[in-house]
Structure 1
Amino acid sequence: MGMTGIVKPMGLLACRVKRSLPIASLVCAAVGPCLLSGCALTVVSAVDAAGSVVQAGMSIASNHSSPTFVNGDQTSLHTVCIEWNSLVPVGDFVPALQYALHKRGVESTVYGPGNSPPNCEATLVYSAATDWGHRTFTDGYTEYLSAINLTLFKHGKIVVAASYETSGAKLDRFASTTTKVTALINKMVVATSD
């Protein structure tokens, strides 16, 4: 028996092993988890718990906001006049401003552009824009407040200005209008009551 006689049976054996390998893989994949101890369940539970922590963190972060920048020092006020801006597409913007000011102990009045009441201690002007984005763990797109600019004037001079802008995957972009506006007002106005 020469080398050819040995190689032929080895080739047949290799062909049979090659054909049965996919079947063996399927059997191992089906039976393997049943033979494992609790390790597989522990890993799945750990991954599930980590996912829950990430989801909770994203949920909490989306309810907090921080100003992008503040230019000037906090000022002390008792009353402020808010100049109405009809170009702001957010219906709850002015009520959110008034709420944030009231929490700081500041009473506010809203007036039309060019009709500033003579007894204004300070004037607040604002602008804002919205955008659409995909909220994590949800389907579809949601409109959110993407930019806010607030400027506070006293006696015709800018006292403090603050702005908020979303950028990239900022987690607070889906925070409420009140949350975003309150964060800005808290940096602009000294609290006279809590």
Structure 2
Amino acid sequence: MARLEVITGPMFSGKSEELIRRLNRATYADQNVLVIKPRIDTRNESKIASRKKKDKKDTKFEEYSSFPAHEINTSKEFIELVSQHRPDVLAIDEAQFFQEWLLELIDNLLDEKENTGFKIIVSGLDMDAWKKPFGIMPQLMAKANEVTKFTAVCFHCKKSDANLTYKKSGSKEQIEVGNFQKYEARCRKCHELPTD
């Protein structure tokens, strides 16, 4: 049976780390893996990466693990890559940045490969900094066979589970790629909406 798995949560919650773990497991099982990410995500060229602080005194995150990825913008690029690679496991990182065309292509792939062990693993933010559903993630979560939702530790109080992403600097646009310089994970009590 073909499967759709979704990994979600706020920034710094371990989504990429979990995606990389699942991809490494598939690789060890000799499965053909294809990883796709949106070209807008310029933080890591041609790879997905997980970051951690070396110790609690560090102020920045450093790359911990990574996995090669293809950057795309269009449905045509998606179709070409899937046709060329014929993956057993297709991973899509930062799915909140993709347009609705991805939903139809995922549905088509799952229907086409229903009687196989084909798997699609999607990772992305479930909510934006305004606490609103982000992009196509709600639809992907609704269609999924399995949803794994992570939390982080609140960057502000350092006590509560953080299920929200706080935008501390930058523009007031919903889509603005950034790391710890622009974003923090926050609990509901410590979260603030971006101001104009």
**Is the TM value for this pair above 0.5?**
no
**Greater share of strand residues, 1 or 2?**
2
**Greater share of helix residues, 1 or 2?**
1
> Of the two, which has the highest radius of gyration?
1
